[in-house]
Chain A
Amino acid sequence: MRTTRRQLLQTAAGAGLGLAAPAVARGELLATSRRRVVVIGGGWGGATAAKTVRRLDPEIEVVLIERESVFRSCPTSNWVIGNLWDMSRITRGYEDLVRRHDVRLITAEVRAIDIAAGRVRLDEGEIRYDRLIVSPGVELVYDGIEGLGAGDAPSVPAAWKAGAETEILRRQIAALPERGTVAMTVPLSPYRCPPGPYERACLIADYLKRHKPGARLVVLDANARIVSKGKLFAAAWKELYDGVIDYRPDQQLVGVDVAGRRVRTAFDEVAADVLNVIPPQRAPALLREAGLVPAGERWAPVSARSFVSPAAPAVHIVGDATDQRSVGRVPKSGFVANSMGKVAAAAAVALLNGREPAEPTMANTCYSLVSAEEGISVTALYRWDEAAARYVVPEGASGTSPARTREIARNATDWAETIWNDMLA
């Protein structure tokens, strides 16, 4: 930790000098004499980090920069697609973070991170940070898919970030003709929310079963098998959706004929009325351009005890954008992002106060609905292993629920509201 402290002092000294320089006075949007943590991204990791820093040390100013004016939850967005919840129910405001926790909220797109100067650049100017916590989520990668680009979303939604595409996909499925076909493609792991595609398959199938007799869902999975909660999903498909879900593993997506409504894999070509292509993902361009993702890599490595970037000692990176090889075998889930946000916030507060960060612990509790009535779960506790410099799961401290139950479905919906409050209220 000695290195980190020295580097921190250098960063602080640099920022102090910077305040006196005329170039800075011109660019700084929010002048302050207080120590400041800037958080980029108001999702599961970022909102949690912003609130936790304020909770742990009210002397530290927190600036949260988020491009959207409201929070829309990715976990539970499948429930909207399956017509169980309205979009409004998974949408929350940032007003409590501002009012109750005195977080300074800026609704803007971050253009660049200037690591050498310790500044975040927006269109209107710059914001200095003493420590930066970046929780940028993922970028969808359309490069390798023939015939499909991000601009085709109104016709072929990914619906992998909660928002307009979630609604588009829901409406497309609701408008499906009799005996129609929905096709969904699943990218190779790792991607955001490992059980997400399979929960979505369940809830689309549940909707088709109830409202579209004779309709079916073809799942073209690039993976060799179901990536998460495999036995539980397979059992649900067999017992609840026999004849509705047609699951085909080892189907790497090659191209999409948007106008002709067809998807092509290395082995198959499937015509469908509704196409839901979930493309591969990577850490967003903002991180790559800042040098926080090594050349040729998809994800950002971190020193996971504090989630500090090895490329920038004053920058923490949390959430789905982090490289699992540097963290340990933790999934890219909302709960894990919430956990990472707390660990990074505590580390940032400790470092700003000249203390060594406390030993971290993380957890994951990830619920999936397999129908309108029943749910399943996977959970794990992640303890820090200093020798391995990774998080590890102690013996017996992880696993799925033994079965699908109604109680788990009730817990799932209550969990969503509880953790949104934990992040945002």
Chain B
Amino acid sequence: MRGRQPAAERARRGAARLGGYGPRRAAATLTSAALVSLALLALSTVPARANEILLRTCDGCHSREGTARAASLPGLDGLAESYLREALLAYRDGRRDHYLMGMLARGLRAGEAADLASLFAARPFVAASDGVDALRAARGRTAAAACAECHGARFEGSEKGPRLAGQPVGYLHSALRAYRDGGRKGDEGMRDAVAGRDDATLGDLAHFVTLGEAP
């Protein structure tokens, strides 16, 4: 575990150097794709190690490269480390029920969920807000106010809840339904937040929170 930390640390320092321009200026001068490549260049300066291969294996479904943004598959790059680690452990232990993630998580060895979480967290977040329906987003705005308590004023994430802004609508919608229907267990806050809401209401909510606007 300890021996693997420097990889993530160095990658973070690389990402922090980029951030030194100030995020707005960096965004103005570099496309998000270029940011990804630069951060990966930072990663690439460390010796190739087992967990980096594992990380890249996940990219087969979770990559945020290119312009097309998968509407139903979540991006993991740049999410909070603690959230990612807990999510992987929840898939492994069956608290999150999924048709394939449980199997993949059960193939991880001790400590690898934490290692993967730190490597994903060190990458820059890439938004995937395509396909938002403005009318549905408007309908979701009022109900979204309650979500901001844990997920941040603009749903950028906080210690209490993961980033929602910029996550694909389809993924957010299916996650909300899973909390309601028992596919995601052990999170009373989320269970209570979605209890009794119908699919359309949860969908409206997803269309709004991904925008990253204050409710």
Residues of A within 8 A of B (CB): 52, 55-58, 96, 100, 335, 338-339, 342-343, 346, 349-350, 353, 355, 357-363, 365, 377, 379-381, 383, 393-399, 401-402, 405, 407-408, 410-411, 414-415, 417-422, 424-425
Contact = CB atoms under 8 A, between A and B. Distances in A.
B201 interface: no
B62 A418 contact: yes
A419 B107 contact: no
Nearest to A96: B66
A425 B50 contact: no
Contacts of B87: none
Given A58-B44, A396-B106, A422 B59 contact: yes
A415 B48 CA distance: 26
Contact of A411 (B41, B49, B72): B72
A161 B114 CA distance: 40
Chain B interface size band reads: 35 or more
Contacts of A422: 59-60, 63, 65
Contacts of B108: 381
A424 B60 CA distance: 12
Contact of B57 (A363, A395, A411): A363
A106 B102 CA distance: 42
Contacts of B202: none
B interface majority secondary structure: helix
Contact of A419 (B37, B53, B61): B61
Contact of A397 (B37, B50, B58, B104): B104
Contact of A56 (B33, B44, B61, B99): B44
A395 B106 contact: yes
Interface string B43-56: 01001111011101
Nearest to A392: B107
B48 A350 contact: yes
Interface string B65-100: 111101111000000000000000000000000011
Contacts of B49: 358
Contacts of B107: 380-381, 383, 393-394, 396-397
Given A357-B48, A414-B70, A419 B60 contact: yes
A343 B108 CA distance: 17
Contacts of B52: 346, 358
Contacts of B100: 365, 377, 379, 399, 401
B132 to A, nearest CB: 16
Contact of A52 (B47, B56, B70, B104): B56
Interface in B107-158: 107-109
B63 A363 contact: no
B123 to A, nearest CB: 12
A421 B104 CA distance: 22
Contacts of B190: none
Contact of B48 (A56, A393, A425): A56
B103 interface: yes
Given A346-B48, A407-B72, A418-B63, A339 B57 contact: yes
Given A377-B99, A414-B72, A425-B66, A358 B60 contact: no
A394 B60 contact: no
Nearest to A342: B56
Contacts of B37: 55, 100
A336 B148 CA distance: 40
